[in-house]
Chains A and B, each alone.
Chain A
Amino acid sequence: MSEIMDPPRCASEAIPIDRPQEADAQEPILRLEGVRKEFAKRSLSDRLRRQPGVRTLALDDVSLSVAPQEALALVGESGSGKTTLAHSLVRLVEPDAGRIELLGRDVLKASGSELVALRRRMQLIYQDPYTSLNPALSIGRAIIEPALVHRLIDRSETQSRLGELMGYVGLSASLAERRPRALSGGQRQRVAIARALAAEPEILIADEAVSALDVSVQGQVIRLFATLRRELGLTLIFVSHQLATVAQLCERVAIMYRGRLVEIGPTREVFSAPRHGYTATLIAAHPGGRRLRDRAGGTSAPPPPPSMDQPGCPFRHRCAYATDICSTHTPSMLSVGPGHAASCHVLPHADDLAAAAGARRHRAQTRADGHEG
Chain B
Amino acid sequence: MSVEPDIATRPSADARREGEDGRPPVLSVDGLRVEFPSEQGLVRAATNVRFEVGHGRTLGIVGESGCGKSVTLRALCGLVPEPGRMVAGTVCVEGRPHRTAKALETLRGRKLSMIFQDPASSLNPVRSIGSQVSEVLRVSLDRPHAAARSEAIELLDHVGIPHPAQRMSAYPHELSGGMRQRVMIAMAIASRPQVLLADEPTTALDVTTQEQILQLLARLQEESGMAIILVTHDLGVIEEVCDEVVVMYAGYVVERGSVEEITRSPMHPYTQGLIAAMPQLDAAHEPLLMHGQPPDLSTLEPGCPFMPRCPKARSGCAQIDMQTLTTTACACPFATERLLTAAGGASSPDS
> Do chains A and B stick together as partners?
yes
Q: Mark B142-162, 1 if CB is under 8 A from A, else 0.
A: 000000000000000000111
Contact A223 B283 (CB under 8 A): no
Contact A281 B160 (CB under 8 A): no
Asked if A370 meets B264 with Cβ closer than 8 Å, knowing A223-B289, A247-B281, A301-B161, the reply is: yes
User: Could you tell me the distance between the alpha carbons of A372 and B1 in the complex, rounded to whole angstroms?
Assistant: 8
State the main secondary structure of chain A at its contact with B: helix
Report which A residues bind B (CB closer than 8 A). Answer: 77-78, 184-186, 214-220, 222-223, 241-245, 247-248, 267-268, 271-272, 281-283, 285-293, 295, 297-303, 360-361, 364-365, 367-373
Determine the chain B residues whose CB is within 8 A of the CB of A290 once the complex forms: 240
Determine the chain A residues whose CB is within 8 A of the CB of B139 once the complex forms: none
B214 to chain A, nearest CB (A): 5
User: Could you tell me the distance between the alpha carbons of A288 and B346 in the complex, rounded to whole angstroms?
Assistant: 20
Contact B2 A244 (CB under 8 A): no
Contact B208 A77 (CB under 8 A): yes
Contact B206 A241 (CB under 8 A): yes
Determine the chain A residues whose CB is within 8 A of the CB of B343 once the complex forms: 373
Contact B219 A287 (CB under 8 A): no
Contact B219 A299 (CB under 8 A): yes
In addition to A287-B211, A288-B278, 16 A-B residue pairs with Cβ atoms within 8 Å of each other are: A185-B65, A219-B288, A220-B289, A241-B206, A241-B207, A247-B282, A248-B279, A281-B208, A292-B211, A292-B215, A300-B160, A370-B263, A370-B265, A371-B264, A371-B276, A372-B346
Asked if A282 meets B240 with Cβ closer than 8 Å, knowing A271-B283, A293-B218, the reply is: no
B180 to chain A, nearest CB (A): 11
**CB-contact partner of B283 in A184, A247, A370, under 8 A:** A247
Determine the chain B residues whose CB is within 8 A of the CB of A185 once the complex forms: 65
Contact B160 A287 (CB under 8 A): no
User: Could you tell me the distance between the alpha carbons of A353 and B294 in the complex, rounded to whole angstroms?
Assistant: 42
A184 to chain B, nearest CB (A): 6
Determine the chain B residues whose CB is within 8 A of the CB of A303 once the complex forms: 162
**CB-contact partner of B207 in A216, A243, A298, under 8 A:** A243
- Cβ contacts A to B, 25 pairs, < 8 Å: A214-B64, A215-B279, A216-B273, A216-B274, A217-B293, A241-B207, A242-B279, A247-B280, A248-B285, A271-B281, A285-B207, A286-B236, A287-B207, A287-B210, A287-B236, A287-B237, A297-B215, A299-B216, A300-B212, A364-B285, A367-B263, A371-B346, A372-B347, A373-B1, A373-B346
CB neighbors of A among B241-296 (8 A): 241, 263-266, 272-291, 293
Query: Is B182's CB within 8 Å of the partner chain A?
Result: yes
Determine the chain A residues whose CB is within 8 A of the CB of B281 once the complex forms: 243-244, 247, 271, 283, 286, 360, 364
Query: Is B177's CB within 8 Å of the partner chain A?
Result: yes
Determine the chain B residues whose CB is within 8 A of the CB of A297 once the complex forms: 211, 215
B33 to chain A, nearest CB (A): 24
Contact A219 B289 (CB under 8 A): yes
Q: Mark B335-351, 1 if CB is under 8 A from A, else 0.
A: 00000000110110000
Contact A78 B206 (CB under 8 A): yes
User: Could you tell me the distance between the alpha carbons of A371 and B349 in the complex, rounded to whole angstroms?
Assistant: 13
B251 to chain A, nearest CB (A): 16
User: Could you tell me the distance between the alpha carbons of A125 and B67 in the complex, rounded to whole angstroms?
Assistant: 27
B192 to chain A, nearest CB (A): 19
Determine the chain B residues whose CB is within 8 A of the CB of A299 once the complex forms: 160, 212, 215-216, 219
Interface centre among A290, A291, A292 (most CB of B within 10 A): A292
Query: Is B42's CB within 8 Å of the partner chain A?
Result: no
Asked if A371 meets B208 with Cβ closer than 8 Å, knowing A214-B65, A219-B287, the reply is: no
